Structures are given as C-alpha cells and as structure tokens.
C-alpha cells in the first residue's frame, strides 16, 4: 500500500506536458520541480529552468562555447543535434551575432524544441532536417568556425553515438568544412576511468588522427566529456596564448557569460588514460557497441 | 519418379548445408549491410526500412525465379553459374559500392564549384616544445575570471551576418528513397541469387510428390535457422571482431564455396539427378 501511495506521489510530481511518437523517437516533455525536461525513448536529453530558460541546462553544453577562444568573432557555427536546444539558446543569448546552423534528423524534435523549449528560427538560427554526415557532405562550400557534435540516438539504456559520426572519415569530412582556425567540439558520454572510458579514449585517439591538437573538458554535473579538436597546426596552447585568447574573446564578445571562466578552468590537454588501449574508429571498423561494454 | 530408394545421407546433408549457409549469408549481408550504408544515408530508421525491404524483395524474386529455374535446369551446378558471380560481387562490395553510393548522395549537391576558403591561417604561431599541464595553461588568466566573478566590458557589436547561399537540402521523398536505391544497388543481386537456393533444393530433395510437404518444410526451416544465426552472429560477433571489408570478403568466399558445393553435389551423386 505504501509503495502504491509513494508511486502516486512520484507520478503526481512530474507532469507530462506533451508526448509524441516520430519515425525516430518517442518524445516526452515533462515539468517537474521548476524544471522542464525532454526525454527521447526514456533517456533525458535536456532540461531547463522554466523561470529562466538560459539556466538549468546540463553543464556540458557550456563547453560548446570553448571553440570561440580560437574564433572570438565567429560568424557561423554548426550544431549537430538539437534536442531541447540548450546550445542554441546560449548562443542566441550570449553571442547574438553568431549565426547558428542546427542539423537535426528528426522533424518532430524540431517541432518540440520550438513549442516547448523556446528555440526560435531567426535570422541567426536555421534548423536543417538531415543526417549530420549527409549535411556536411552536401555543404562543403559552407565553412564554419566551429562544429558542435551532440547527435545521439537514445533508448532506455542510455544514449549511443551513431558510429558514422565518430570515425576518422567523419572527422576528415568535418575538418574540410571548418575554417583554417576552426574547432570541432564533441560531446562524448563517458568518464576517464571506468564507465565508458574506452569510448572516450577511442574518440580522443580518432580525433587526434585529424586534429593536431585535442583538448577536453570533463563536465562537473554529468558523465560527459567534451573533446575539442583544433584544426590549425600552429602550436598548442600555452599559458601565454591561452591568456591572449581569453583577452581577445572578452573584448569581442561583451555578453560572455560569467560562467565561461570557471568552465575554461576545467580544460585538460594530456591524453585521457584510456586512449592508449582504445582503437581508432574508422568507417571500416567501429566496434562502438564493444567499446561501450565495460571490461570485466 | 524412378525409385523409392532413400536419398544418400551425404547428399541430404549437402543440400541442408547449402540451404542453411545460404540463409546465413543473406542475413549477414542484411545486417552488416545496413551498418555499411550508414556513412552515406545516416543511421536511422529509413536505412533499416530500406535494407529490410530490399532484402525481402530479393528473396521474393529469388524464390520465384529460383523455383522456375529448378524445374527447368534441374542440375545443382546451374546454381553455381549464378553463385559464382554473386560471390565475386560480394567480395568486391568494398571496392565497388562507395562510388555508386557517392553518386546517389552527391547528386543532391549544389552544382556550384567548391569555393576555396579565403580564411587566413592562424594569426599567431606559437611553437613550444613544453609539455602542457592543466595548471600552467591557466597560469596567466586572471583568477576572478576563472572563478566567474567578472563579466566583460561592453564592446560594439558588428552587424549580424547575412545568409549567402541557402544550404543544400534533400527533398523529403529522396531522404526516404535514397537509402532504398543504395540498398538495391549493393544488396539486391547477391541476395536474389542466394534466395534461389531454397526452391532449388526443394526440387532436388523432393523425390516424391507425397513428401514435398516435409521436404519444403525442412528447407524453409533450415534456411530460416541459418538466417537467425546470420542475424545474431553478425550483430554480436562479426561487427566487433572484423572490419566490414573482411566480413564482405568472408561472405563472398562463403558464397563461392556454396557454388562449389553445388558442383560437388552433381559430381558426387549424378544418379540422383531427376529427369522426369
């Protein structure tokens, strides 16, 4: 009886506001404790604070702003994977001059993001319904200062990287679409030491085959590590160049959020420990499901 | 029918192995193939839809045509004539398919020649041989900034950029049909030939009309058991252990082997050829 009562309370707390089924996802929008949450196939994608949509998001999306250090006056960036649009909202809020192209596979997700998560298509934000790799392939003329990768397929067991967006060939394609100073930021779901450490190591090594410099930022509030691949082969960051980049960015982007500094402080430059034994992923061999299985 | 003598056990086993391994090969192609198509068409729903649909189409055609051919030619070695090119086709998928699939995808691209990027190279080129550690990277950045206690001095904003060329989008109908075209180009022919094995084996194994029910039932069952094994072994084992190139090569070699087995059956049990 008690469990039944508790269950009822739990259900009553979270109110499902919207539910739909697309060709790709079962989508649920839920309000709970002042937060609005987006679930795909049971797995939580996005949350925001209903009172202030620029807050309450997963912290890892903040690291998608780090490419601006290399491109303080970025004109055009590409975000793969819309979800609830945390990155898009942040760019519209803090970097209003940057044009964001979003590539999202599922038109139903775009609809939900607009209706429930305040995502707008404006002069500086365009949503393209497409597979990410296909989009890059068809738009080689369009160069981006930054590409942010957050395209996952989700089910109740969690989120999974589509392998064709994680191989050496994919990164080569993405690098072609980046400007000379371009930076690719990749949200990798995993940790350094245990849970999904092999995929983190593999992604690091694979990105390193294309990008001369790879930095990474472990999220503080979730098991995400954002890898940053820098295309320019002009020497890695030093304390002096990073300082210079920060100064340039602060001048170029007057609305730079106050949290930018604390996020930057989490930067890491050395290879994650799992990189040594994890394989480089290629179109021909990308054993992602094997990498996700924890070693016994 | 000439006689009621029991079919030699070896022949029955050979026919069974042909059917089983044929079913196995079809599903390896289906499962590994769907994954193989992902770099061109994406990983989602429509790739699976088209791969399943096209393989079913190949099976339907193979069953229909295969049954007809079996009545007409009767000899197992006729199948070798088709299994050999199918095997070679599968072996060569890694070499042939990328060009064809590129063609399907790239026909949607804007015809405009690629504009070379006019970006300047990175402005400062600081080359240091120093090992970077996290702490010294941040050493020169003001502490209050790293702690989030400051904000930026306002600065003049440049005007929002104007969108030059609209991006290249695929019409919705091609988003759905392109993967099917890709599946068909790469997998229709080999799966069609492999599907012909089953009705052919019914013809070779059924020596009396009275037993056609049993024989065809066993053939369906053996083929399906092979297919089930193909599905799970592909997904759980092959994809993890081998490259897709290797998997196609192994499946091509297997298909060539099945062609050889057909010849072997004719040669080993010539008296069993039916001529009614």
Residue B56 inside a domain? The answer is yes
**Residue B180 falls inside a structural domain:** no
Question: How far is it, in rounded angstroms, from Cα A201 to Cα A272?
Answer: 6
Binning pLDDT at 50, 70 and 90, where does residue B5 land? low
B14 Cβ contact partners less than 8 Å away, ≥ 6 residues apart:
B261, B264, B265, B268
Whether B107 and chain A come into contact, CB under 8 Å, resolves to: no
Q: Counting beta carbons within 10 angstroms of the beta carbon of residue B220, is it exposed (0 to 12), middle (13 to 18) or buried (19 or more)? A: middle
3-state DSSP assignment of residue B188: helix
Can you tell me the distance from the alpha carbon of B56 to that of B192, in angstroms, rounded to the nearest whole number? Answer: 9
Assess whether pLDDT exceeds 70 at residue B154: no
Q: For chain A, what are the domain ranges?
A: 14-49, 59-292
Please give chain A's pLDDT, 296 residues, in tens.
Answer: 444 444 444 444 568 899 888 877 888 898 888 889 898 877 788 888 888 888 888 899 999 999 999 999 999 999 999 988 999 999 999 999 999 999 999 899 999 999 999 999 999 999 999 999 999 998 888 899 999 999 988 766 667 889 999 999 999 999 999 999 999 999 999 999 888 889 999 999 999 999 999 999 999 888 899 999 999 988 789 999 999 999 999 999 999 999 999 999 999 999 998 998 899 999 999 988 777 765 44
The answer, for A5 touching chain B at a CB cutoff of 8 Å, is no
pLDDT tens-digit profile of B38-85? 888 886 788 899 999 999 999 999 999 999 999 998 888 899 999 999
Q: Rounded to an integer, what distance in angstroms lies between the CA atom of residue B42 and that of residue B34?
A: 10
Predicted local distance difference test score (pLDDT) of residue B123: 30
Specify if B152 maps to a domain. Answer: no
| Per-residue H/E/C for chain A | CHHHHHHHHHHHHCEEEEEEECCCCEEEEEEECCEEEEEECCEEEEEEECCECCCCCCHHHHHHHHHHHCCCCCCEEEEECCCCCHHHHHHHHHCCCCEEEEEECCHHHHHHHHHHCCCCCECCEEEEECCHHHHHHHCCCCCEEEEEECCCEEECCEEECCHHHCCHHHHHHHHHCEEEEEEEEEEEECCCCCCCHHHHHHHHHHHHCCCCEEEEEECCCCCEEEEEEECCCCCCCCHHHHHHHHHHHHHHCCCCCCCHHHHHCCCECCCCHHHCCCCCCCCCCCCHHHHHCCCC
Among residues A105, A268, A131, which one has the least CA distance to residue A200? Answer: A268
Whether ipTM exceeds 0.90? no
Q: What 3-state DSSP class applies to B170?
A: coil
Q: How many whole angstroms separate alpha carbon A253 and alpha carbon A247?
A: 10
Distance CA A184, CA A189 (A): 16
CATH of the domain at B236: 1.20.1250
| Residue A117 exposure: Cα atoms within 13 Å on the Cβ side | 31
pLDDT tops 90 at residue B127: no
pLDDT at residue B233, rounded to an integer: 97
Domain membership of residue B125 (yes or no) is no
Q: pLDDT grade, residue B166 (50/70/90)?
A: low
Q: Assess if residue B120 is contained within a domain.
A: no
Which of A71, A128, A134, A286 is the best residue to mutate to test the B interface, defined by the most B CB atoms within 10 Å of its own CB?
Answer: A134
B177-217 tens-digit pLDDT = 999 999 999 999 999 999 999 999 999 988 778 889 999 99
Residue B115 banded pLDDT, cuts 50, 70, 90: very low
Is B275 at the interface with chain A, CB within 8 A?
no
**Position B218 pLDDT exceeds 80:** yes
CB contact under 8 A, B167 and A99: no
CB burial string A171-190: b at 16+ within 10 A, e below: bebbbbbbbbbbbbbbbbbb
Write out chain A residues lying below 8 Å of B160, CB-based. 96-97, 99, 123-124
Strands A43-49, A76-80: parallel, antiparallel or unpaired by DSSP? Answer: unpaired
In Å, how far are A152, A153, A220, B24 from A82, measured between CA atoms?
10, 12, 22, 39
State residue B112's pLDDT score.
Answer: 42
CA distance A209 to A185: 15
- What is the count of structural domains for chain B? 1
Q: What's residue A287's pLDDT?
A: 86
Q: Confirm whether B167 is domain-assigned.
A: no
Q: Domain span at residue B218?
A: 19-102+190-272
Residue B89 pLDDT > 90, yes or no?
A: yes
Q: Which two tokens stand for residue A24?
A: 């790709």
Enumerate residues 270 to 289 of chain A having a beta carbon within 8 A of any beta carbon in chain B: 270, 282-285, 287, 289
Backbone phi and psi for residue A158, each to the nearest 5 degrees, phi listed first: 130, -160
Contact: B146, A255; criterion CB under 8 Å: no
Residue A140 structure tokens: 């080689």
Q: In DSSP terms, which residues pair with A31 in a beta bridge?
A: A15, A36
CB contacts of B128 in chain A (<8 Å) are 235-236, 238
Domain assignment present for residue B166? The answer is no
What residues 122-161 of chain A have any CB closer than 8 A to a CB of chain B? 123-124, 126, 128-135, 137-143, 153
- Average model confidence (pLDDT) across chain B: 82
What's the rounded Cα separation, in Å, for the pair B227 and B244? 19
Which pLDDT score is estimated for A293? 63
Cβ atoms of A279 and A166 within 8 Å: the answer is no
A265 contacts on B by Cβ (under 8 Å) = 138, 146
Q: Residue B145 domain-assigned?
A: no
Alpha-carbon gap: A262 to the closest alpha carbon of chain B (Å): 5
A36: left (phi over 0), alpha (psi -120 to 50) or beta: beta
Give the rounded distance of the alpha carbon of B126 from its chain centre: 48
CB-defined contacts A:B, below 8 A: 208
Other beta carbons within 10 angstroms of residue A144's beta carbon come to 26
> By the 8 A CB rule, do B257 and B84 touch?
no
Residue whose tokens read 């305040």: A118
| Superfamily of domain covering A59-292 | Vaccinia Virus protein VP39 (3.40.50.150)
């Amino acid at each position: 009886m008690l469990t039944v009562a508790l269950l009822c309370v739990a259900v009553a707390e979270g109110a499902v506001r919207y539910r739909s089924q697309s060709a790709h996802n079962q989508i649920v929008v839920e309000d709970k404790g002042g937060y609005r949450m987006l679930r795909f196939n049971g797995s939580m994608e996005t949350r925001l604070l209903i009172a202030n949509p620029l807050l309450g998001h997963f912290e890892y999306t903040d690291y998608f702003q780090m490419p601006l250090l290399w491109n303080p006056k970025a004109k055009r960036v590409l975000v793969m994977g819309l979800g609830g649009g945390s990155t898009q909202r942040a760019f519209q809020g803090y970097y209003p001059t940057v044009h964001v192209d979003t590539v999202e596979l599922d038109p139903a997700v775009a609809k939900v993001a607009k209706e429930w998560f305040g995502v707008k298509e404006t002069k500086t934000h365009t949503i393209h319904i497409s597979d990410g790799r296909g989009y890059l392939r068809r738009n080689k003329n369009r160069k981006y200062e930054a590409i942010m990768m957050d395209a996952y397929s989700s089910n109740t067991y969690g989120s999974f990287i589509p392998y064709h967006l994680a191989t050496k060939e994919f990164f080569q394609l993405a690098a072609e679409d980046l400007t000379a100073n371009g930076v690719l930021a990749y949200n990798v779901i995993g940790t350094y030491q245990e849970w999904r450490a092999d995929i983190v190591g593999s992604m690091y090594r694979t990105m390193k085959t294309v990008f001369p410099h790879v930095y990474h930022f472990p999220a503080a509030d979730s098991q995400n590590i954002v890898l940053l691949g820098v295309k320019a082969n002009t020497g890695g960051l030093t304390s002096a160049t990073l300082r210079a980049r920060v100064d340039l960015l602060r001048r170029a982007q007057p609305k730079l959020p106050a949290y930018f500094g604390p996020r930057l402080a989490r930067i890491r430059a050395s290879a994650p420990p799992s990189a040594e034994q994890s394989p480089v992923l290629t179109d021909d061999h990308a054993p992602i499901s094997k990498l996700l299985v924890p070693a016994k | 029918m000439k006689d009621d003598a029991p079919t030699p056990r070896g022949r029955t086993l050979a026919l069974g192995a042909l059917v089983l391994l044929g079913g196995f090969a079809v599903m390896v192609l289906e499962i590994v193939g769907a994954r193989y198509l992902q770099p061109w068409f994406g990983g989602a729903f429509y790739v699976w839809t088209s791969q399943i649909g096209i393989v079913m189409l190949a099976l339907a055609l193979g069953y229909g045509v295969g049954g007809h051919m079996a009545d007409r030619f009767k000899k197992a070695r006729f199948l070798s004539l088709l299994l050999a090119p199918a095997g070679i086709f599968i072996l060569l998928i890694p070499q042939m398919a990328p060009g064809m699939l590129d063609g399907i995808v790239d026909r949607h691209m804007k015809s405009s020649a690629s504009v070379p990027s006019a970006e300047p190279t990175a402005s400062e080129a600081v080359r240091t041989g120093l090992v970077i550690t996290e702490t010294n990277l941040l050493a020169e950045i003001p502490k209050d900034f790293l702690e989030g206690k400051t904000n930026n001095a306002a600065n003049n904003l440049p005007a929002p950029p104007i969108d030059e060329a609209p991006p290249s989008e695929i019409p919705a109908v091609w988003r759905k049909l392109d993967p099917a075209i890709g599946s068909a180009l790469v997998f229709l022919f080999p799966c069609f030939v492999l599907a012909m094995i089953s009705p052919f084996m019914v013809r070779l194994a059924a020596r009396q009309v009275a037993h056609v029910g049993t024989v065809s039932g066993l053939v369906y069952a053996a083929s399906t058991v092979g297919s089930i094994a193909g599905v799970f072994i592909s997904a759980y084992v092959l994809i993890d252990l081998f490259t897709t190139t290797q998997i196609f090569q192994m499946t091509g070699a297997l298909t060539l082997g099945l062609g050889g087995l057909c010849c072997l059956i004719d040669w080993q049990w010539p008296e069993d050829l039916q001529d009614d």
